[in-house]
Amino acid sequence: MTPGGVNAGIKFFEPYPIFMRRARGSHVWDVDGNEYVDYLMSYGALILGHGSEIVVRAAESVFTSVGTTVMGTPTEMEIEYGKTLRDLYHKDGLLRFTNSGLEATSLALRLSRAYTGKRKVAKFEGHYHGAVDHLLFSYSPSTGSAGKAESPVPIADSAEVDNRFLSDSLVLPFNDWEATHKLIVSHAKELACVIMEPFEEGVIAGDPRFMGNLRKLTRDLGIPLIYDEVKTGFRVRLCGAGEFYSITPDLTCLGKIIGGGLPIGALVGDLEIMGLLDPRKERKRRVFHSGTFNGNPLSLSVGNATVEELRRKGRFDTLRMRTTRLKQALSRSLSQRQIPHTVAGEGGMFNIYMTSKPVRNHRDVQNSDMRLRRFLDIELISRGVYLKPENRYCLSLAHTEDDVETTKERFAESLDAEMPRSN
């Protein structure tokens, strides 16, 4: 019925994706009735777990207090929740809601181009910014085809990504300052922005010096720096990766958690750049942005309740401590069996790479033992621990100590399963 059985390419995995029927808290059940501890958490979007009472109450309250799901005019909730997000991410800035992460990143590009009058977009190899043609390159190139590590070439991630988008792009090597500096300086006159996941794949941290240097260089050259915090927002820290590094980018893209499980995105940032969206601006400089469901009361109310809960004293620390306990336990299990691995991630998510070497960017990920990782993940799924193979572990406030204990046991059993030899 759907190509590959999925409605989003990212949801597919070999041998086939699993159809789920229902979910509650930290658990999901498939159509055959099998139960799993869920570490996908809808790619990190659900931080209170499935079907949280807080979410249900917030959704119900929209019908009782607002009386509708969408109005087509500004509403009070846009001020209330917008202000919360703005104050957490860019105190002196402005914010626009969108319906998805990719709409936020697309808007960030359009604004940067209008602001600088330049076209070229610099992005990092291995960083994902949504299924939008302007940014759909070099997310997951195989190392063989992507040029030298210090000067990667743009590789389209989809058929029919127009060559125009590739020629408007510059690909940078994450965590290699010398090469990144050289590439940015030599293209500075054409660059409209530098966009990045401040933690690659949401988990691989930038070296603090690399991140600091990049902020300084882009500021000195007048190139807007965009943090795409769709994964890291409210997961790495309450105020995202910006807080972790003590760096304020010019624009921040948000999504996932900020909708509490409903579709949403947001762009927040610099007054002058965001000000170009003001419909009162003279036509020549004005940037158009619209969307029927932007800022709809349902997504905003649920998002607001979710973020309020997360900001309650001790809530984020609980999530962080439970995540740390799990990642340390899994790492111990691997070490006991002398399996080379590196664990990466901060706050409420992490990933495990099967290599003894430091994992600093996409090339290092490609050089890890992905076959072993896939094997392990399928073994885990068959034992009732669900995550998308090779993807990161995302925890929620619904995950319990029992979940952690069960996962530790199932992980150890999976490690002791015999991996078939490759042909």
Ligand X SMILES: Cc1ncc(COP(=O)(O)O)c(C=O)c1O
**Residues taking part in catalysis:** 128, 228, 256
Q: Which two tokens stand for residue 292?
A: 């029927």
What residues contact residue 188 under an 8 Å CB cut-off, 6+ apart? 221, 223
| 348 lines the binding site for ligand X (CB under 6 A) | no
| 98 lines the binding site for ligand X (CB under 6 A) | no
Nearer to ligand X, 128 or 393 (CB): 128
For 196, half-sphere exposure in the C-beta direction (CA atoms, 13 angstrom radius) is: 30
Nearer to ligand X, 264 or 404 (CB): 264
Category of 373 on φ-ψ map: left (φ > 0), alpha (ψ -120 to 50) or beta: alpha
| 170 lines the binding site for ligand X (CB under 6 A) | no
What residues contact residue 190 under an 8 Å CB cut-off, 6+ apart? 118, 119, 120
| 231 lines the binding site for ligand X (CB under 6 A) | yes
| Span interacting with ligand X, options 94-102, 109-117, 273-281, 380-388, rule CB under 6 A | 94-102
| 97 lines the binding site for ligand X (CB under 6 A) | no
In the shown chain, the binding pattern of residues 20 to 39 toward ligand X, with x for contact by CB under 6 A and - for none, equals --------------------
Q: Which amino acid is at 222?
A: G
Q: Per-residue DSSP letters for 70-101?
A: --SS--HHHHHHHHHHHHHH-TT-EEEEESSH
Nearer to ligand X, 212 or 263 (CB): 263
Q: In the bound complex, what is the minimum distance in angstroms from residue 264's beta carbon to ligand X?
A: 8
Q: In the bound complex, what is the minimum distance in angstroms from residue 107's beta carbon to ligand X?
A: 12
| Distance, CA of 294 to CA of 297 (rounded, Å) | 9
Task: Report which residue's Cβ sits closest to ligand X.
Answer: 101
Nearer to ligand X, 333 or 347 (CB): 347
Stretch (H or E) spanning 179: helix 177-187
Query: Phi/psi at 331 (nearest 5 deg)?
Result: -65, -40
Q: In the bound complex, what is the minimum distance in angstroms from residue 43's beta carbon to ligand X?
A: 5
Q: In the bound complex, what is the minimum distance in angstroms from residue 8's beta carbon to ligand X?
A: 8
| 230 lines the binding site for ligand X (CB under 6 A) | yes
| 255 lines the binding site for ligand X (CB under 6 A) | yes
| Span interacting with ligand X, options 15-23, 47-55, 226-234, 344-352, rule CB under 6 A | 226-234
Closest CA to 218 of 246, 240, 244, 196: 196
Q: Which of 38, 197, 200, 390 binds ligand X (CB under 6 A)?
A: 197
Category of 53 on φ-ψ map: left (φ > 0), alpha (ψ -120 to 50) or beta: alpha
What Rg do the C-alpha atoms of the chain give, in angstroms?
A: 21
| 251 lines the binding site for ligand X (CB under 6 A) | no
Judged by CB under 6 A, the chain residues 102 through 141 that form the site for ligand X are: 102, 105, 128-130
Stretch (H or E) spanning 394: strand 393-394
Q: Tell me the C-alpha to C-alpha distance, in Å, between residue 310 and each of 186, 216, 279.
A: 43, 32, 34
| 43 lines the binding site for ligand X (CB under 6 A) | yes
Nearer to ligand X, 206 or 415 (CB): 206
* Residues found near ligand X in the complex (CB under 6 A): 43, 100-102, 105, 128-130, 197, 228, 230-231, 255, 265
